[in-house]
Each structure stands twice: as structure tokens, then as C-alpha cells.
Structure 1
Amino acid sequence: MSDYEEYFKNRTKKFFDKAEKYTKGIFLSERRNIERICERQGDVDYYQIQHFISDSRWDARGVMDKAALRTSRVLPEREITGLPIDETGIEKKGEKSVGAGWQYCGNVGKTANSQVTVVGSLSNGDFSSLVDARLYLPKDWTENKDRCEEAGIPEEETGFKTKPELAYEIIRHQHELGVKFDFVGGDGLYGNDIELANKIEGLGYLYMMDIHKDQVVYLEEPDLKIPEKKGIRGRKPFLPKPDKESIRVDNYQKHLSPDQWTEIKIRTTAKGYLKAKFHFVRVFIWNKARGGIEKRLLVIRKHRTKKGVELKYSFTNASLEQYEKKAIAYMQAQRFFVEHCLY
């Protein structure tokens, strides 16, 4: 850890010894809270570590950035590197912890009093490491300036940001930092945000974003036209709409024949190759905010599990002309590793 010593000091104090003890305790303790960490090591003062975590001013962003760059440099170049985005939640008993509130907590699978953090990881083959994190502040925090000030939140961080907005901050920051990655991944929360996908593409990256099963698509490129008025009642239509019928992605896959699926070996596991069936099709979506039609490659994965058949739907800007089906399937499967970083 000596390479990180510069980030654990300010003009008057140094905290590196506390950082070493805390980090060591995380690896040694089964329950990773300060009390258990101090018990496990014996010679660690509880109040010193508590003060180090809660009150000491050290450069957390500098630590994360250095870890991100070092991770980026050591990942093998033979595989595509992803930057999967996900979130993690921690249950809390009180309301004093920054960002704590009643919200969905993925760790417990329900709404709970919790903190939620949006995270980014670098993923390459079997290698994965967290490289960035942004705490989500619910509106009952950002709309209460006194509460934010009492909790010590910097004023520039008190504005409300959605989780997709925090995700884009992570992506843009890693891009500006010089971290190397080829694509960005995310679950349906991020995949259903059309503008996030367009921003990622604007930075020059591929994206592979999961979408919800009720996402509607057009199998043929529609034109936007003002529809003719039907009947004599009501106002005359004045907003353009697609002139072709849309279909939900889950309804689309129900009509696929067996020969429209391709079985692909995604990666090796302890039990051999992980295989799944994939379907790829170019589709179009209506971006109502921009008033235009946009292309996407729809990737559908069908995988048999102990609970039955699992279906996953994703949008990507990768094309079958540039990438093999196996490479696209690999990108869709990489979220598995960021989840292992968290749990």
C-alpha cells in the first residue's frame, strides 16, 4: 500500500498507518465493520479508526483514481475490456448516515432504510475490479440543505442526480482519467435511459445495456408522420408519430423459430463452458425526447437454469458487420463479474 501514502495526509497530519490497519482488517474480518476489525487485530484503537473513517480529511478520489489506472494497466489486452455499471445498497438503522432513506436496496431485494451507491468496475475475462463509486442522494436529502450541511456533504455535491446521471459521471471521469475500456454495460435501469446510451456513444464507446421486457421496438424503420384525424370528435393530431406498428421485445421472441437462435460458448466456468442461445436483430426505437428514430442491435439471450428458462434482452450499438456474435455475447455476459465484486 505504500504507493498510496500520499493520499492519506493533509498539511498537518498523516493517516497512512490507520489506512493500513483498516485495509488489513477488511481482509481479515468476516464481518467488516470497525468494531470487528479492531477486535480481529487486537492492537487497533477503535476510536482512532472511527475518526479516520468519519472525520479525517484524506483524498478518497485520489485513491480510487490511482487504483483505476493501475487496474487498467495490468488487465490483459487479448480480451475486450468492459466498464459495467451497477449499484449496491447497505441497510442502515438510523437516518444520520449520508444518503440513508427508504429506497430499494438490492442487497436485501426490497425497499429498506439504506444507502445506495452507483459503482463502476473494469472487467476483462475472469478479471474484475471496482474502480469508481458515487453515493446516490435521494431528494429528501438534496432538498434539505441543513441536513446536508450537518452531515458534512460538500455544497457542490448537494444537487440531486439520478442514478443514470451518476453512471455517466463515472463513465466520463474514467474516460478523462485515461482508463482503457471498450464498452459500457448496465442493467435495465440504465439501459432504459436512451440519453445515457447516446452519451456513451458520443464519447466513442460501445454500450451493452440490458432493457426491460416491455421495451417496444420497430422491426422496420418507420417514418415520423402526423397521423390523419379519425372521426369528427376531438382535436386534429399535430404531433408526428411512427407510421409502423411496434412490438414488445418479449412478444417478438415468442415468435422466433429454433433456427433463429445461435448457441454460443460464452466463457469457461468451473464446470466447463457456459453456453446460451442468442438471437441478434437490427431494430429501431422512437426517441421521443429528440423527436427521431434511432437504430439499435437487439440481443436476446436464452439460458436454461434450475428455475427454468431465463431470458435477457439488451440494446447495443455494436454491429454484426464489425464484431463476431461471440464477442457481442461476451459483452452481454460481463455484468456477472461486477456483481461478484459487490457480493
Structure 2
Amino acid sequence: MSYGADFSTNHRAQEFFQGIVGKHLRRPEQRESFATYAFGILGDGERKSVEPIAARAFSDPEDVQRCHDRLLYFIRDSPWSDRDVRRAAARYVVDAMQEHEPVTVWIIDDTGFLKQGKNSVGVKRQYTGSAGKITNCQIGVSLCVSNRKEQVPIDFELYLPDDWTDDPQRRKAARIPEERAFKTKPELALDMIGRAKADGIPGDIVLADAGYGDSSSFRAALRGHGLDYAVAIKSPTRFWLLGMNDEVERVVSAEEFGLDHFEGRSFPGWNHHVSVVLCCYAFVVVERMRHFFPSARRQA
């Protein structure tokens, strides 16, 4: 078995994926599959989906097929909590970031997952900054946290256009939960902000582009959460100038971890894939800080 960069034998990787995160997976086979999938995402290879991960993990065709089937079930059908796994990863990386610099900024953004066809959950011809045009894609709304040196995504929500949420057949085929109604992108962002506040994630100011800043209800909700904000607005939006802020909005991408490589079509599968990617991102950020940040004692 080979994963390129040998994360499978890294003690901290084992502790993180099978312990810190793995304890939120009830069964041993879930923890094993989670680790295999994560090490595949962290390892070599251009594609980070089930088939190529299985092919890189084993050389024997029968072993590859068994691994493929096991990972496919884990991502698409296995019942585990994305919320619990993402919370554990967020606390892990935020605690490490706080040792160096306070986490003060939350960044709301969205990214496009370019798709062919019309059966992947949430897919539609819509604008995405990833392509700079209207194209066939899914849209994921992200929440990142940041200090002066690092930023990391801790949560994602898949935007479901109303021609998905209002279509019973499409909902059933994509296994969209019954309780999931249509929500705008700012509403999805506020859901994530509410979860982060409930989880005790530190942060003082929210940054977002005009897709969110133009919403007066979004801005009011941020104030209701006790958060300041620095958001872009479009030219017709009226505002009152109270002062200047030198915060610069920063863009984060988890593309190198295969964020947009999920090849399934279901809502649970998309969320499971994104959860593993977020955990991988958190782990790598913490490892980078361990290797490249001077200790507080050396700074003194």
C-alpha cells in the first residue's frame, strides 16, 4: 500500500484521523475507511475520488475492488455525522492557530464545482467566480477562520436552487433531507455562523463579498451575533460611512485536496466528501504550523 507522502505511518496523522476525528465514527470499519480516504486525499495523484484512491492504495485488482466498494459505501451511504466530524477538526486547528495568533476573522465565500450533466445534487447553470461566468456547476458556501498568519475552512453548505428543493423526484433521487428547504446563500452562511458561535469558535469580524454584503438581513444577523463585519456592496446599495477598515478580504481554496473531485450525485455523499477534505485541510495547516512557526520562547 502506498500513499505517496506516507501519512499512513505518521503518528500524528493516525492520532488525528483515527482518534480525534475517528472517535466520532461509531464503528471500526468507519474509522478505517475514513483514514483510508483521508490518506488518499493527502497523498499523490491528480484525482481525489473513490476510484483513483482505491487504485493507488492497492496493487492487486481484487483488493482494489474491495477497497473501492468499501469507500464508496462509506462516502455515499454510511451513517455518520458531518457536524460532529467537522466540529472536531475545527477545534483541533483553531486551538493550534490560537497558540500563535488569536483567531479574529471569519470569511464567508462561495466556490463553484464544475459539472457535466444535470443529475449531481444542486447542479444548475449559474454564475460562479471559479469560472468567471455562468456555467453548469454546484455552488458551495464556505466559512473560513483566520488569524494574521493562517486561514482554514471549517464548514461548507451546498446551495440548492429552488428547482431542486421544489422537485420531489429530484429530492428523492439525490436523498435531500426532508427538513432541507430552499435557502439563499446568505441564509446558508448564517447557518454556519450560528453553528460556529454555538461551538465556541473565536472570531470578531466577518468578511464577505457583495453577494452577502448587499443583504441587510445578513448584516443585521451578524450584529445580532455580536460580530462586526467588513463586506463589499454593489453600487446601488445605500450606506452610511462611519470609518475606514484596513482588513483585506482573502480567498481560500481547498482545491488541492480534491474539494471538487466528488463524483457522486447525492446530498449525503457530497457532504461526507467535503467533511473529509475539511479534516485533511485542518491537519495540514496544523502540521505546517508545527514545522514553520517559531515557538513563543524563540520569538521572545
Does TM, scored on the shorter chain, surpass 0.5?
yes
Distance 1:95 1:48 in 2: 26
SS at match of 2:179: helix
Distance 2:96 2:77 in 1: 33
8 A Cα contact 2:101 2:149, kept in partner: no
Deviation digits for residues 22-60 of structure 1 (CA, Å, limit 9, x no counterpart): 101111122222222222222652222122111111111
Aligned to 1:271: none
Change (3 A) 1:80 1:34: closer
Equivalent AA in structure 2 for residue 9 of structure 1: R
Task: For 1:140-219, list aligned pairs within 5 A.
Answer: 140-157=163-180, 159-212=181-234, 214-217=235-238
Equivalent AA in structure 2 for residue 208 of structure 1: A
8 A Cα contact 1:118 1:167, kept in partner: yes
Change (3 A) 1:36 1:296: farther
Distance 1:87 1:182 in 2: 20
**2:39 corresponds to 1:24:** yes
Task: For 1:59-98, list aligned pairs within 5 A.
Answer: 59-76=81-98, 78-79=101-102, 81-98=104-121
Provide runs of 4+ in structure 1 moved above 6 Å.
none
8 A Cα contact 2:161 2:182, kept in partner: yes
Identity of aligned residues (%): 32
User: How far apart are 1:340 and its partner, in Å?
Assistant: 3.9
Aligned to 2:158: 135
Number of aligned positions between the proteins: 231
Distance 1:342 1:187 in 2: 20
Gaps of 5+ in 1: 218-284, 286-294, 300-327
Distance 2:113 2:237 in 1: 34
8 A Cα contact 1:34 1:50, kept in partner: yes
Asked which structure has the greater CA Rg, the reply is 1
Deviation digits for residues 124-153 of structure 1 (CA, Å, limit 9, x no counterpart): 112111111111000110111232122111
8 A Cα contact 1:7 1:60, kept in partner: no
SS at match of 1:147: helix
SS at match of 1:73: helix
Distance 2:152 2:123 in 1: 25
Task: For 1:117-132, list aligned pairs within 5 A.
Answer: 117-132=140-155
Change (3 A) 1:163 1:216: closer
**2:64 corresponds to 1:41:** no
Distance 1:196 1:296 in 2: 18
Gaps of 5+ in 2: 1-16, 257-300
Distance 1:9 1:151 in 2: 25
Equivalent AA in structure 2 for residue 125 of structure 1: R
Distance 1:341 1:153 in 2: 24
SS at match of 1:195: helix
Q: Which is bigger in relative contact order (C-alpha 8 A, separation at least 6)?
A: 2
8 A Cα contact 1:128 1:341, kept in partner: no
User: How far apart are 1:109 and its partner, in Å?
Assistant: 1.8
8 A Cα contact 2:152 2:252, kept in partner: no
Select the structure that is richer in helix: 2
